[in-house]
Chains A and B, each alone.
Chain A
Amino acid sequence: MASFQDIIFKLKQYWAERGCIIQEPYDTEVGAGTMCPETFLRVLGPKPYRVAYVQPSRRPADGRYGDNPNRLYKHSQLQVILKPSPDDIIEQYLGSLEAIGIDLRQHDIKFEEDNWEAPTLGAWGIGWQVMLDGLEITQFTYFQQVGGIDLDVVPAEITYGLERLTAFLQVRDSVYDIEWTKDFTYRDVRYLDELQYSVYNFEMADIATLWKLFDLHEGEATRLLKLYDPKSPDKKRFPLLPSYDHVLKCSNLFNTLDARGAISVTERVGVIQRVRKMAVGVAQAWADQQSDVAVAEVAQ
């Protein structure tokens, strides 16, 4: 039986063979693999890119103290970006399922309409949820807009829910029972994360401190963005990547405050707007910065 990590190895191998850079997870907490700069920023502009990485994705409100067999505070996504999207992208995707041992002649696969939208990122796309024997195993999206910018080149984003996929393959009813390796279960590795983060996010996080952190990160991101000068000859040096880290921090703090019940509905819209403004600001500056870089590269 393929272990959790075997499945990850095989998928990474499969996509590496199709020209993807295999990246490691981003080292700042994110709510989804899409938010990593490897996706959010790299899909902007005309330059082709192919990358795959596993991203632990944190959703504070989904924590269940390790009690619920299917819901996790932190789950693992395998994120694949193919820019531009190849014509046979769906065939390639189906091939990846066969590579991890799913015989699609004996299983039922359906592509059901599911368009993705992330208001905090000014992003949306068209796509499907992929259903395998009634289980949603993948979100498939053709990005159309990111950071409020219509994309020059349409990338395909494939996001595998690794815990679900493994539970399916290992025939486990609870994600905690899946085998991470032959000797260790998912519970052995992750149970404490689920329990302790649930306690923190729902009960113990200090609301005033989180707001203070939010304001600090927002302040730093905003300060930097104001300094970005599209006309500067040195703009390639400008630290947009670090600016974006602060945006990611804000996003996670917002999610934590939300789980903590600290954001009223009236405030909510406003806070989403604040995060969106920063994210869109970084995306636009990045697109500007990269377009000149691209021009320079072509000129060489």
Chain B
Amino acid sequence: MSLPLLFEIGTEEIPDWMIPNALENLRMLFEKLEVPHDTVTLDATPRRLVLRAEGLPEKQPDREEKVQGPAKSAPPQAVAGFAKKQGISPDDLTTETTAKGEYYVYMKKVPGRLTRDILADGLPHVITQIYFPKTMYWAGKNGPRFIRPIRWLVAMLGEEIVPFELAGVRSGALTAGHRRLGAREIAVTPSDYAQRLRDHYVILSAEERRTKISNELMAVKVKPDNALLETLVYLTEYPTPITGTFDAQFLELPEEVLVTVMRHHQKYFSVEDNEGKLAPQFVAVMNIPSDPEGFVRRGNERVLRARFNDARFFWDSDQKKKLADRVADLANVTFQAKLGSYLEKTERMKTLAAQLGGDADAVRAAELSKADLTTELVKEFTELQGVVGGLYARFQGEPEPVWQSIYDHYKPESMDDAIPRHRTAQIVALADKLDTLRGCFAVGMIPSGSRDPFALRRAAQGVVKIIVEGKLDLDLAPYLDNDALRDFFQDRVRYYFRDVRGFAYDEVNATMAIGWTNLVDLESRLERVQKLRTSPDFEPLAASFKRIRNILNQAKFQGGGTLDESLLEAGPERDLYDEQQRIKGQPIEHAIARVRPKVDLFFDKVLVNAPDARVRQNRLTLLNTLLAEFSTIADFSEIVTPS
């Protein structure tokens, strides 16, 4: 008989962002119990992690276990003793011949365990092993750890409870509804579980909550924001969007500030008018089905008004001191204990910006870039650092390239984020990131594993992205004056081209092998190699180059010598030489189709390892020259070919 399983961990509110990973973990841990089953469904709300599975057997199949007894030659007492120990008569024993001789064996019948018993033993461990980034204890110092206190447990196999206990909570058949609109105890079975929850204002499926929010958002034109949508899906059990308004006079404040308040502080969607400009409206998502009296809408409107008033208060009071006059105050803001204050960082950034080819605007922007760290608005909305500095600089009359550079200099904040909008801003962003990287590496703060408190990986990735996408003709080599930093960057460059841009790893290795610190050059070589690869001659040629490389290595060929034409043998060797002379200086794209047959023929007919040492040396020189000719864009021997 096959049975459905219902397993629900009822908790106090779990942080929304941890839920999807916890569910995946729950699935993995359940699979480890090795209970056969058909489908598995995972669901979650802030107050419950749920695993449902279909088609579990009532019990494991019976099986036989072989117990080895004494040797056939053993005295009868020993045989009888063995049989007695197994609770059988000696007649029930069979014999078996092994490499060591003949033995009595008993084929013991082991009845399959009840699935319910396996689950009762296994599920408590499943629960406590779910990984969360930060856990707590609640039932005394030696109690279990979980993300939040566990308050109920539902564990049912078919109609029967899977009995176990964890942290003083006994598993049962009672779930809980919405905190205020549902009952605290609801009897459920695997078949009516989801419906019973719905009756008590809990929409179990995240997908359904997501759809409900999205559909009800259609009424207004909200700025799409999937991350916020996900947060709200896992912050509610019965989500319902409502639209509120705010006084249009707040639209005088910069849109960035308004959106940040709505998005990050209040978890509201912002709304656009028909021209795509910010409208004096917002959408909040409640955890109840309706707001007939408008209590929730008015409450949210008042909170937002207060928040906007705060922002305006900070904006106004910040204007009492210009950014330029705040730079000196950065002496009191620590960048990093060993690397000094932000004032010192600012000075270094100015120098770097000039070295990187930045103009006077770039240097000015570098000078002002960190001054917003002393403003009230940034202290309140730290995620707006840079943006606020840019807005203040504009307001205080700094030229456009300057304020825009300040505004953009933390970009890109992720691999999906855009790079700063123009060259000047790109230089300032590079100066900031390179300074942080060089400084941290110089004092030994090097990321390891998942430990990267200064987000140095992101900074290095940003440098790579800016240079490549901004097409900056810049050699990084002079700035990577630390071996560890150089290796670190090399990894980031490889990661960028391989994982972000999708180039094949051997193409990346091949092109990087002959130099990688000029990223624009590297990119163009990669693109050429990628195109070349589509040519039918490419991979065979690459294979030949690998062969050449091996031959040269084996011969410990040092290079340097000049080729002696008189030693060339007529036929394939001479032909290869002539071809090589003809293609000299030509792009590889034109050359490979012509060279490939000559190389093939050469290897087919000519013995490199000629008995005459001079001939041998001459042939090695020919191959070496050919290899060098083709190695201007990549080391083709790094290309992986099917062999």
Contact = CB atoms under 8 A, between A and B. Distances in A.
Given A109-B180, A109-B287, A134-B266, A142 B138 contact: yes
A144 interface: yes
A125 B138 CA distance: 11
Contacts of B15: 113
A266 interface: yes
B531 interface: no
A171 B13 CA distance: 28
Interface in A100-123: 104-113, 115
Contacts, number: 108
A150 B141 contact: yes
B288 A71 contact: no
Q: A134, A150, A154 — which one has the most chain B CB atoms within 10 A of its CB?
A: A134
Interface in B146-166: 148-149, 151
B384 to A, nearest CB: 19
A106 B242 CA distance: 13
B13 A128 contact: yes
B511 interface: no
B305 A108 contact: no
Interface stretch (A20-28, A83-91, A228-236, A273-281): A83-91
A195 interface: no
Contacts of A126: 134, 136, 148
A292 interface: no
B80 interface: no
Interface residues of B, number: 47
Given A106-B293, A106-B295, A111-B13, A134 B284 contact: yes
Nearest to B333: A265
Interface stretch (B59-67, B296-304, B499-507, B578-586): B296-304
Contacts of A171: 298, 302
A174 B324 CA distance: 34
B21 interface: no
A71 B311 CA distance: 12
A265 B295 contact: no
A196 B136 CA distance: 43
Interface in B270-301: 284, 286-288, 291-293, 295-296, 298-300
B140 A153 contact: yes
A106 B12 CA distance: 21
Interface string B314-338: 0000000000000000001110000
B16 interface: yes
Given A71-B310, A94-B180, A168-B299, A154 B137 contact: yes
A107 B137 contact: no
A69 interface: yes
Contacts of B151: 87
B46 interface: yes
A173 B299 contact: no
Nearest to B300: A134
Contact of B306 (A70, A111, A112): A70
B305 A107 contact: no
A105 B238 CA distance: 12
A125 B134 CA distance: 11
B260 interface: no
Contacts of B295: 106-107, 133
A91 B141 contact: no
Contacts of B12: 90, 111
B140 A69 contact: no
Contacts of B137: 144, 154
B296 A110 contact: no
Nearest to A125: B136
Given A94-B180, A134-B299, A135-B299, A111 B141 contact: no
Contact of A151 (B134, B141, B181, B313): B141
Nearest to B284: A134
Interface in B43-77: 46
A163 B302 CA distance: 15
Contacts of B148: 126
A132 interface: yes
A214 to B, nearest CB: 19
A85 B180 contact: no
A264 B266 CA distance: 33
A206 interface: no
A300 B550 CA distance: 88
Contact of B287 (A69, A85, A110, A265): A110
Nearest to B14: A113
Contacts of A151: 141
18 contacts: A69-B306, A85-B138, A90-B179, A94-B180, A104-B179, A105-B180, A106-B291, A106-B292, A108-B291, A109-B287, A110-B287, A111-B13, A135-B302, A152-B140, A152-B141, A153-B141, A154-B136, A173-B306
Interface of A: 64, 67-71, 84-85, 87, 90-91, 94, 104-113, 115, 125-126, 128, 132-135, 142, 144, 150-154, 168, 171, 173, 264-266
- For the complex of A and B, list the 9 residue pairs with the smallest distance between their C-beta atoms, beginning with the closest: A133-B299, A113-B15, A111-B13, A134-B300, A108-B286, A126-B136, A134-B303, A265-B334, A104-B180
Interface of B: 12-13, 15-16, 46, 134, 136-141, 148-149, 151, 179-181, 184, 235-236, 266, 268, 284, 286-288, 291-293, 295-296, 298-300, 302-306, 309-310, 313, 332-334, 341
Given A109-B179, A111-B13, 11 more contacts: A85-B149, A91-B184, A106-B292, A107-B295, A108-B291, A115-B134, A126-B134, A128-B13, A134-B304, A173-B302, A173-B305
